Amino acid sequence: MKKSYTLVLLFIVFIAYRLYFLFTFPPFTDESLYIRWGQLMIYNPNFRWASLTFVSRQPLAMWLFGIGSFIFHHPLYGARLMVFLVNIPVFFILSDVMKRSYPERVRHIALALLAVSPLFILTQTLALMDGLLFAVSCYTLWLILQPWKKKIPVQIPVIAVFLGIALWIKTTAFLIVLLATLGLLWKRLRGDISTTQVTIGIAMWCLGPALIILPLVLQPNFSNILHEPDFFVFTAKELFQFPVAVWFRNFLVTPVVLLLYLNPLIIFLAYPIRFPKLKDRTVLFMIWLFIPIAITIFIGKNILARYYIIGMIGILPLLAVMTAIFFNRVKWKFAPVVAFCLFSIWGLFFIVNPAGYFHLFPNAVHEQNYAISWTSGYGIPELVSWIDTHVPHDKILLLAVADSPGNPSDYLLTYYYFKPYVRIIFATMTNIHDFRKLEPITEKGSLYLATRLSLITPETQPYLTPIIIFNKPYNEDAIGLYQISFTASH
My answer on whether 202 and 180 are in the same domain is yes
- CA–CA dist 481, 77 (Å, integer): 24
Peptide bond into 408 cis (omega under 30): yes
Query: Under a CB-based contact definition with an 8 Å cutoff, are residues 361 and 368 in contact?
Result: yes
Distance separating alpha carbons of residues 314 and 439, to the nearest angstrom: 58
Residue 428 CA to residue 449 CA, distance in Å, equals 11
Contact predicate 400/484, CB 8 Å: yes
212: nearest Cα among 58, 355, 410, 315: 58
Cα four-point dihedral sign 109, 114, 115, 119: positive
- C-alpha span between 132 and 167 (Å, rounded): 11
CATH of the domain at 452: 3.40.190
Q: Are residues 324 and 398 in the same domain?
A: no
Instruction: Assess whether 360 and 433 both reside in one domain.
Output: no
Instruction: With beta carbons less than 8 A apart as the criterion, state whether 163 and 137 touch.
Output: no
Same domain, 277 and 131: yes
Instruction: Tell me how far apart the alpha carbons of residues 200 and 213 are, in angstroms, rounded to a whole number.
Output: 20
Domain count across the chain:
2
| Residue-wise pLDDT tens digits, 187-234 | 999 989 999 999 999 999 999 999 999 999 999 999 888 876 666 788
Q: State the pLDDT confidence band at 302, using cuts at 50, 70 and 90.
A: confident
Report DSSP state, residue 300: B
> Does some domain include residue 221?
yes
Q: 104 in a domain, yes or no?
A: yes
Same domain, 186 and 258: yes
Structural domain boundaries enclosing 245: 2-369
Is 157 a domain residue? yes
Rounded Cα gap, residues 177 and 137, in angstroms: 9
Strand partners, 59: none
d(CA 446, CA 483): 7
Q: What's the pLDDT tens digit per position in 252-280? A: 999 999 999 998 877 766 655 565 666 68
Mean pLDDT over the full length of the chain: 92
| Residue after which a domain boundary falls, among 369, 402, 428 | 369
Which one of 304, 338, 369 terminates a domain? 369
Pairing status of strand 464-471 against strand 397-402? unpaired
Q: Is residue 490 in some structural domain?
A: no
Domain for residue 375, yes or no?
no
Q: Give the pTM.
A: 0.94
- Write the DSSP string, 248-266: HHHHHHHHHHHHHHH-GGG
- 3-class secondary-structure state, position 466: strand
pLDDT of 1 = 40
Q: What is the pLDDT of residues 323-377, one digit of tens each?
A: 888 888 888 888 888 889 999 999 999 999 999 999 999 887 889 999 999 999 9
Among 333, 348, 369, identify where a domain stops.
369
